[in-house]
Amino acid sequence: AKMLGKARFVVFTPNLRTEAISRLDLEAQLQHAIERDELFLNYQPIYSLSSNDLVGFEALLRWNNPGRGVLLPADFISIAEESDLIVKIGEWVLLEACRQLKQWQKNYPDREELCININISGRHFIHPDFIHCLETTTTVTGLKPKYIHLEITETVLVENREKARIVFTTLNNMGYEIQIDDFGTGYSSLGYLLNFHVDMIKIDKSFIQSIGKGENGDHLVKTIVNMAQELGIDIIAEGIETERQLKDLKSMACKYGQGYLLSYPLASSGIDDLLQSGKKR
């Protein structure tokens, strides 16, 4: 046992050290990513599953790191969330995404009802400046709150009950739509969400991808969709990758969908092409 302990010590220390250094390194670079103009957004279309109409986009953050190339949120969001750096980044995302949607609404007046979905970190949601940040964003961009859909995870509502409830209610009264992201992966229930005025739930892609791989997956998704319908909550299915998944979700009368089958996340120029073409899905 002693030998094993020693061996472990030798093997693991350098790795942990390297990882810690690389995280510190990334954090230091991330501090300057905004002023160096290295952040950008991709936009993934969201469709109505009944009409195939485009209804909006989810803004997804990317970081063009000079040494490492384009990084995905999995590479850097958790680092940002360790400090208020996530607040700075979140403010940038809000402004950029809302500016972009406003521009699309102007350029394509017949598409004025398109909405933008924005991921909000829990730390940002309960930050004292968050509501003010949203007010500034809508003032500066001229985008109405009703076009802004804020995606938060159920964990945010469970872990910060009192604070989250106040922010939630305030934003709702101001006209923002709040959606529950990654539903099913946290530890809340639909019943718990009744404590809030939840407009929309996004069923996590892990559940969507279980459709067609044995009966339990289908059954679980169907149960969530049915219960939500009874509670008057709409559903977005995320991570739709196969025709089978799409067909089953349509037959469950799931209202909205998003996923690689319908469209990959696109650069803003790709969305321009899509809007010009006037294509449905």
Please tell me whether residue 275 binds ligand C2E under the rule CB under 6 A: no
Candidates 96, 151, 154, 218: give the one binding Ca ion (CB under 5 A).
Answer: 151
Beta-bridged to residue 181, according to DSSP, are 153
Whole-number Å distance between alpha carbons of 181 and 202:
5
Beta-bridged to residue 42, according to DSSP, are 60
Minimal distance, residue 238 CB to Ca ion, in Å: 5
Minimal distance, residue 195 CB to Ca ion, in Å: 21
Please tell me whether residue 119 binds Ca ion under the rule CB under 5 A: yes
Give the max Cα distance, the chain. 72
Backbone conformation region of residue 83, classed left if phi is above 0, alpha if psi is from -120 to 50, else beta: beta
Please tell me whether residue 72 binds ligand C2E under the rule CB under 6 A: yes
Q: How far is C-alpha 74 from the chain's CA centre?
A: 12
Do the beta carbons of residue 97 and residue 114 sit within 8 Å? no
Candidates 46, 79, 93, 157: give the one binding ligand C2E (CB under 6 A).
Answer: 93
Q: Using CB under 5 A, which residues numbered 193 to 232 contact Ca ion?
A: none
Whole-number Å distance between alpha carbons of 124 and 127:
5
Q: CB-wise, 9 or 187, nearer to ligand C2E?
A: 187
Candidates 105, 121, 179, 245: give the one binding ligand C2E (CB under 6 A).
Answer: 121
Please tell me whether residue 119 binds ligand C2E under the rule CB under 6 A: yes
**Which of Ca ion, ligand C2E, none does 56 bind, CB closer than 5 to 8 A by kind?**
none
Sole window of 3-11, 46-54, 127-135, 235-243 interacting with ligand C2E (rule: CB under 6 A): 235-243
Residue 64: partners with Cβ closer than 8 Å, 6 or more residues away: 38, 39, 40, 70, 71
Q: CB-wise, 96 or 238, nearer to Ca ion?
A: 238
Please tell me whether residue 220 binds ligand C2E under the rule CB under 6 A: no
C-alpha count within 13 angstroms, C-beta hemisphere, residue 191: 1
Q: CB-wise, 92 or 196, nearer to ligand C2E?
A: 92
Q: CB-wise, 152 or 228, nearer to ligand C2E?
A: 152
Sole window of 23-31, 104-112, 167-175, 237-245 interacting with ligand C2E (rule: CB under 6 A): 237-245
Please tell me whether residue 260 binds ligand C2E under the rule CB under 6 A: yes
DSSP string, 48-107: ETTT--EEEEEEEEEEEETTTEEEPHHHHHHHHTTSTHHHHHHHHHHHHHHHHHHHHHHH
Whole-number Å distance between alpha carbons of 220 and 230:
16
Candidates 29, 44, 137, 138: give the one binding ligand C2E (CB under 6 A).
Answer: 44
Residue 276: partners with Cβ closer than 8 Å, 6 or more residues away: none
Please tell me whether residue 102 binds ligand C2E under the rule CB under 6 A: no
Whole-number Å distance between alpha carbons of 223 and 1:
49
Which residues in this chain contact Ca ion in the complex, by CB under 5 A? 119, 151, 181-182, 238
Which residues in this chain contact ligand C2E in the complex, by CB under 6 A? 44, 59-61, 72-74, 77, 90, 93, 119, 121, 181-182, 205, 238-241, 259-260, 265
